[in-house]
Structure 1
Amino acid sequence: MTEQLHDAAALEAQAAGNTAEGAKEARRPTRADGRATRAKLLDAARTIIMEEGTDRLTIDRVIKLAGMSKGSFLYHFPSRDHLLEALVDDYANHLADVQTSLEAASPDAAHPLLASYLAWYEQFQEGEIDQGSSPLVALVMASRRNRRFLEPVRSWYRHYFDRLEAMSAQNAPDAAYAPGTQGCDKTEALLLTLAMDGLFFHQLFGTDVLTNEERAAVTGRIAVRSGNSKGMRKTAKK
């Protein structure tokens, strides 16, 4: 009987040990936990630079806003510069995701890439994408000491322009479309893209003084030239 009790106690102790080990294992951070922590730190940093500027971006302010430890921060970002690089990478990935989504939604346009770029501007201007705000200006300011920070964004734009040229050449291999008709050649497609960038940056810098009618006239012309006039919307100034 004593031997049986001893064996039972041993088994119970072993089970308790296994349970404790299992609990310890369950408390170990997972990859998902790591991604969530990194995302939370990036969100906090993005909030700071958009609301207060990059000069106010410090490690202490980020971890306080994110509710994280300094050790967690340094695990993901060894320095402030590494954090800035990650913010730019994250923004470039965001650009790619939005472009892909909007292009897929414009399959019937004669020039889907240009049509999706127009849809992007219109939805951004109306606050439907990113609530009408962007960290790009703050990131550009942060890169004034080190231009390599913006390389992911420059690479995204270069990729977009290369695709724009290829798609335009496919649509109009021999000559530009006649004025007033749908579609455009590669040079006009580039000009229209830069015109939309101008509208976008005027909004970001707070220098947009166009009336609703003036803005609608510009975006309407771009919609016609991209072959997506049926899908255009009236752009309303916020």
Structure 2
Amino acid sequence: MLDAAVAVALEQGAGRLTLDAVAKRAGASKGGVMYNFPTKEALLEALLERLTSHNRAASEALAAELPDEPGRALKAYVMNSVREPDEDDRVSGALVAVVNGSPELMQRVAAYFARRFEVISSDVGFDRAALTHVATEGLWLMELFQVSPFNAVQRARVVQLLTELASTETPPHVAP
């Protein structure tokens, strides 16, 4: 059912993500969908859980490949966030407006970000983690909405700076 919901969100837009549309895409009855997800909000909650679980697992896998040193989780977060966008990123973008209309779902998103920030800042301190996090999220959002002002060379430099900031205690030198 969640695969069908993802397909509907990507093919038709999250505004058309209804229990009927998911049922049709899944080749199931609406009652079958409602057995698992009694409301659209329950479906959206499950989609958010799926997206955040995938994101958490991807960051953890990247962290496992990095040396066990301060900043490991922060660097893995940056690497995961600046990679080539995948289906989860596109679904996240599609769901932004729908989720924003639900205070309960926004609380879940806020809790996810808070938990993630605790992890990435646990061994590097607030300032370094906060600056890296805000810049990384900004880059991700600009690219998601295709409004980034950076060309490929500039983007690569931004990614290099973010990676350096995540990896070292000393801020990277920014050329004039």
TM over 0.5: yes
- 1:160 aligns with one of 116, 126, 137: 116
- After superposition, residues 118-137 of structure 1 pair within 5 angstroms as 118-123=78-83, 125=84, 127=85, 130-131=86-87, 133-137=89-93
- 1:76 aligns with one of 28, 32, 36: 36
On the 8 A contact 2:79/2:163 being kept in 1, the answer is no
For structure 1, the 5+ residue unaligned runs are 1-40, 170-185, 229-238
Number of aligned residues = 168
1:194 aligns with 2:134: yes
For structure 2, the 5+ residue unaligned runs are 169-176
CA deviation after TM superposition for structure 1 residue 110, in Å:
4.2
What is the DSSP-based 3-state SS (H/G/I as helix, E as strand, rest coil) of the residue aligned with 2:56?
helix
1:47 aligns with 2:7: yes
Larger Rg: 1
- After superposition, residues 1-238 of structure 1 pair within 5 angstroms as 41-108=1-68, 110-123=70-83, 125=84, 127=85, 130-131=86-87, 133-169=89-125, 186-227=126-167
In 2, the alpha carbon distance for the partners of 1:159 and 1:212 equals 32
On the 8 A contact 1:96/1:156 being kept in 2, the answer is no
- The 4+ residue runs of structure 1 with deviation greater than 3 A are none
On the 8 A contact 1:45/1:57 being kept in 2, the answer is yes
Q: TM-score, normalised by structure 1?
A: 0.64
In 1, the alpha carbon distance for the partners of 2:44 and 2:69 equals 37
On the 8 A contact 1:164/1:190 being kept in 2, the answer is no
Which structure exhibits the higher relative contact order, with contacts defined as CA atoms closer than 8 Å and separated by 6 or more residues?
A: 2
What is the DSSP-based 3-state SS (H/G/I as helix, E as strand, rest coil) of the residue aligned with 1:195?
helix
Root mean square deviation of aligned Cα: 2.1
CA deviation after TM superposition for structure 1 residue 76, in Å:
0.4
What is the DSSP-based 3-state SS (H/G/I as helix, E as strand, rest coil) of the residue aligned with 2:100?
coil
Show CA shifts across 1:121-162 (max 9, x none).
232x3x5xx258432222221123322113332222101212
Q: TM-score, normalised by structure 2?
A: 0.84
Alignment correspondent of 2:172: none
CA deviation after TM superposition for structure 1 residue 118, in Å:
2.0
What is the DSSP-based 3-state SS (H/G/I as helix, E as strand, rest coil) of the residue aligned with 2:90?
coil
CA deviation after TM superposition for structure 1 residue 203, in Å:
1.0
In 2, the alpha carbon distance for the partners of 1:110 and 1:147 equals 35
Alignment correspondent of 1:31: none
In 1, the alpha carbon distance for the partners of 2:99 and 2:140 equals 20
